[in-house]
Amino acid sequence: MHNRIRPYAWGSRTTIAELLGEPSPSAHPQAELWVGAHPADSSTVVGPDGERALVDVVADDPEAALGGRVRKHLGDRLPFLLKVLAAAEPLSLQAHPSADQAARGFAAEEDAGIPRSSPNRNYKDSSHKPELVYALTEFRALCGFRDPAHTVEILQELGSPRLEHYLGLLSGQPDAGGIRAFFSVGITLPSSALDPLLSDVLACCVDRVREGSRFADEYRTTLELGERYPGDPGVLASLLMNHVTLRPGQALSLPAGNLHAYLSGAAIEIMANSDNVLRGGLTPKHVDVPELMRVLDFAPVAVPLQDGEPGDVPDEVVFATPFPEFRLSRLDLGDEPRTLHHDGPQVLLVFEGELRVERVPDGADAAGGGEALTVPRGRSVWVAAADGPIRVSGPATVFRARDGLSD
């Protein structure tokens, strides 16, 4: 496979370049490496007929590419999208729609005649976009709204006189309704009110960090965002959210409606095959606060981090989600071949080492006999449903993306 790089301004100049064995630092930021068949940036695959876009390969023969089970339950397109994400700076404050919200939003923008390539378009497709992020390095994020009682503690200790005026919205209703009220006021304040409020909040953050407050980490994050995005209401929103740090090897699942912002680090992301993002701040890109408010889930959430569980074969760790579109696992392969059975589509991305992969023809035993391919670090291989079982060996660390339906 040949995969496309998205050069967003927040991207790292080293992570993806080094993974691909290219000059580092790169000339431009490299934010995301897309591995999949999204129409906006499809990978290409090399086959007997030359190099073709994977989205076209799937469309031309969905039965061979996806298999009957995936087609029956998930339709005639690749259900997942895999990415390598490399954040040198914070990403936007965002959420993703549910399936129903995406279908309605896409139809409305189609009816309105907004070009799909327009930077002011919210819905690039009609799919929802739940996702899972797996940390390759220490990975920092804001994820979901924290327990409002705890947020009230943090804001009271901050001691911002200007913020005190709004604090009653949350302290008087410490639940999803209070979170909605506080967030909606903060995210829609005019600059004449927002600018002095943020100045006061950031000054208090400096004081509390200097004093060694028990909430110093939360205040430091707000200061970081305030420096990067001055005058942005997303800076204030960060005080309402769970602050999460994933260790390498941990994963986090994000459902529809979950407000989040990735702050720094490198990760593998897998998601439903969609590019629908509703943004509320911390970005120069299109922001649509009313539409974001319509899709947000304001219920406070815990943030359960996953360490994975044993997979189908030895050396495999699976990161489970409730989403049928995708499943991610990590394979730590040695020289001993492992046979992977799956009747749907798969993508294998090599993170370390060199992968040897071969088809297992009918009647072949574990000793060999299939068509072999060697895949170096940073490269990936497409495995169609019709390819049948495959045999893999290393030494290599490989990420395996497939549908999340039960086999």
Q: How confident is the model at residue 364 (pLDDT cuts 50, 70, 90)?
A: low
80-304 CATH: 1.10.441.10
- State the pTM of this model: 0.93
| pLDDT the model gives residue 368 | 54
Domain(s) labelled CATH 2.60.120.10 in the chain stretch across 309-402
Please name which of 38, 36, 14, 34 lies closest in space to residue 26, comparing C-alpha atoms: 14
Cα–Cα dist 334/355, whole Å = 10
Q: Which pair of tokens denotes residue 201?
A: 């909040």
pLDDT of 2 > 80? The answer is: yes
pLDDT of 366 > 60? The answer is: no
| pLDDT the model gives residue 406 | 75
| pLDDT the model gives residue 407 | 61
pLDDT of 321 > 60? The answer is: yes
Known binding residue 153? Answer is: no
Q: How confident is the model at residue 117 (pLDDT cuts 50, 70, 90)?
A: confident
Who contacts 290 (Cβ-Cβ below 8 Å, separation ≥6)? none
Share of the chain above pLDDT 90, in %: 91
Superfamily of structural domain 309-402 = Jelly Rolls (2.60.120.10)
Known binding residue 94? Answer is: yes
Known binding residue 269? Answer is: no
Give, in degrees to the nearest 5, the angle at Cα 343 between 338 and 347.
Answer: 65
pLDDT of 362 > 80? The answer is: no
pLDDT digits (tens, 9 = 90+) for 225-238: 999 999 999 999 99
Cα–Cα dist 263/221, whole Å = 9
pLDDT of 363 > 80? The answer is: no
Known binding residue 131? Answer is: yes
Average pLDDT of the chain to the nearest whole number: 94
Give catalytic residue positions: 279
The mean pLDDT of 57-64, rounded to a whole number, is 97
- What are the backbone dihedrals phi and psi of residue 278, each rounded to the nearest 5 degrees, phi first? -105, 120
Domain(s) labelled CATH 1.10.441.10 in the chain stretch across 80-304
pLDDT of 365 > 70? The answer is: no
Secondary structure (3-state) at 331 = strand
Cα–Cα dist 14/32, whole Å = 12
Diameter of the chain measured on Cα atoms: 76
Q: Which DSSP string corresponds to 37-97? A: --TTS--EEEETTEEEEHHHHHHH-HHHHH-HHHHHHH-SS--EEEEEEEESS---EEE--
Q: What secondary structure letter does DSSP report for 350?
A: E
Q: What secondary structure letter does DSSP report for 387?
A: G
The mean pLDDT of 307-319, rounded to a whole number, is 94
Cα–Cα dist 240/300, whole Å = 10
Angle between helices 191-211 and 161-171 (to 10 degrees): 100
**Taking a C-beta distance cutoff of 8 angstroms, is the pair 5, 26 a contact?**
no
Cα–Cα dist 288/295, whole Å = 11
